[in-house]
Amino acid sequence: MSAAVPTSPAPPPTWLMASADLDTLRLQNARAAQREWAQVSPQQRARQLSRVADALLAREDELVALIQRENGKQPVEALGHEVGASVANIRWLCRSGPDALAPHPVSIAEMPHRRATQAPQPWGLVLVISPWNFPLSIPLGQVIAGLLAGNAVILKPSEITPEIGSVIESLLAPAALPAGLFNVVLGDGQVGASLIAARPDKVFFTGSMATGRKVMRAAAAHPIPVCLELGGVDAMIVLDDADLDLASSAAVWGGFFNGGQVCASVERLLVAESVREAFVSRVVAKAQALEPATDLGRITAPKQREIYDRHLQDARDRGLQIRCGGEYVGPDTLTPTVIDGPGIEASAVYREETFGPIIAAAGFRSDNDAIARHNALWGGLTVSIFSADERRATAMAQRLDAGLVSVNDVAATLHALPQLPWGGVGSSGFGRSHGIEGLLEFTWPKIIETPRAGHLGFKRPWWFPYGADQTELMRQHGRLLGATNVRDGARAAAAMGKSFVKLMLGAPRT
């Protein structure tokens, strides 16, 4: 009788050991629930998750009131950009997601006797860390995508909008998810950091570049993958032939909706010098006509005031013109501000993200100059181009470094569209939310590869032992795959066939 193989208890997974102060049971439960959830078909998951859209619609007024109270945006924006956008996103994900998550064949011409299937797999336990500026639609969209893909999800909403974060938990109740699959953990950056230390399988972070760096550093210690949706200094480019009335209305809305606290808000205007004054004066007039009580969102996060004050002071020190605004009405409203003047390109308000109701206006001399000025800064989520000549604008669009370029509209509008992948280039981050690409961020591709026509019970000719015939086989194989015409391909195939037969005849079968 052979001796029993000694067994030792399986070590606990490292994500449980990593953080002593976390509710480890909760995380353990999430892992267990995920294994159950991953066995549910994507179609069934979609049916369950679609009920969250029904819940949103049923609780619309309550949610709008809560968003208005905690975040300070206008009800029209809470309806359109938060509740409505979330409903659209969930419905689209539940309609289009299951097909994207289905296994699909991949042709492998190099191995005609084999077939391969690519099957998107859930990461397991994903961590979603969110900001406060779209406190419902940003986290909810990522949570639904994560769950639809078969993951357990932990959401750490912003500490500045915790009530909305908590409500998300109750919005998911009608989906009847396995107990423990979805968790909301409230707290500040330290809590976010300890959640990363607990080693989820992937982190979806939306927030500032400074925090994004910390998140990536912490994730690198494991390592685990991250998706970073960061800020930007998004521009509107106004060409000399643009409809200045339309473009100025677009700039004012794009720069000041939600109090300018939008990752893709118009932070910079790049205006053809020949129309610069005509355009900027229209923007100023329309900005001054805004009504703080009904048009503007309040400053949600008091920490933002430090940035506004620094940018305004820097502009004053440089002798730039504050064409309108620059003053606080009460503690949490900054009047819509437009800053212009020579040398603005060196200023903080032009070069850094303000994330508030301040727009910096600069000029350019040619289309090439506009592109160079746009691309010279550190990131790019979106950019808008206004021109009467769509072909000219579309040609420029190809050369602008940004995740989304919009012609004759404000690009920020498009954040609400579920079909379009959303994300930046450069220091605005990487990875995507929204669209099929955004859904697939919550998966990794597993390949299952099988014989195409039954079991081939002989040793492959490229296995050991090596010899001259194998070298020749590989040489011709490369030539066959690299052939760009039928004659070269046929010649390589014939030579390859010869080596193959020789090898098969000379080698043992297995």
Residue 38, CA distances (Å) to 42, 92, 167, 281 in order: 9, 21, 25, 57
Residue 353 or 469: which CB sits closer to ligand NAD? 353
> Among residues 72, 124, 141, 192, which is the contact residue for ligand NAD, using CB under 6 A?
192
Residue 231 is a binding residue for ligand NAD (CB under 6 A): yes
Could you tell me which residues come within 8 angstroms of residue 490 by beta carbon, excluding any fewer than 6 positions away?
none
The residues that bridge with 362 in the sheet, in sequence order, are 270
Give the other-Cβ count within 10 Å of 38's Cβ.
Answer: 15
> Among residues 256, 279, 355, 386, which is the contact residue for ligand NAD, using CB under 6 A?
355
Cα–Cα dist 336/356, whole Å: 9
> Among residues 50, 71, 206, 476, which is the contact residue for ligand NAD, using CB under 6 A?
206
Total number of residues that touch ligand NAD (CB under 6 A): 30
Query: Hey, what's the torsion of the CAs at 82, 140, 224, 216, to 10 degrees?
Result: 20
Tell me if 127 sits within 8 A of 203, measured CB to CB. Answer: yes
Residue 131 is a binding residue for ligand NAD (CB under 6 A): yes
Q: How long, in residues, is the chain?
A: 510
The residues that bridge with 238 in the sheet, in sequence order, are 271, 386
Cα–Cα dist 104/116, whole Å: 9
Q: By rule CB under 6 A, what string of x and - marks binding of each residue 136-155 to ligand NAD?
A: --x-----------------
Tokens of 74: 């206008």
Q: By rule CB under 6 A, what string of x and - marks binding of each residue 301-320 to ligand NAD?
A: x-------------------
Give the other-Cβ count within 10 Å of 43's Cβ.
Answer: 13
> Among residues 89, 137, 142, 211, which is the contact residue for ligand NAD, using CB under 6 A?
211
Query: Hey, what's the torsion of the CAs at 142, 147, 152, 158, to 10 degrees?
Result: 20
> Among residues 86, 89, 137, 158, which is the contact residue for ligand NAD, using CB under 6 A?
158
Scan residues 373-412 and list those touching ligand NAD (CB under 6 A). Answer: 381
Residue 300 is a binding residue for ligand NAD (CB under 6 A): no
Residue 193 is a binding residue for ligand NAD (CB under 6 A): yes
Q: Minimum distance between the CB of residue 106 and ligand NAD, rounded to whole angstroms?
A: 31
The residues that bridge with 117 in the sheet, in sequence order, are 105, 448
Residue 353 is a binding residue for ligand NAD (CB under 6 A): yes
> Among residues 64, 83, 148, 215, which is the contact residue for ligand NAD, using CB under 6 A?
215
**472 part of the active site:** no
The residue type found at 302 is P
**94 part of the active site:** no
Binding site for ligand NAD (CB under 6 A): 129-133, 138, 156, 158-159, 188-189, 192-193, 196, 206-208, 211, 214-215, 229-231, 263, 301, 353, 355, 381, 424, 429
What residues are annotated to the active site?
Answer: 229, 263
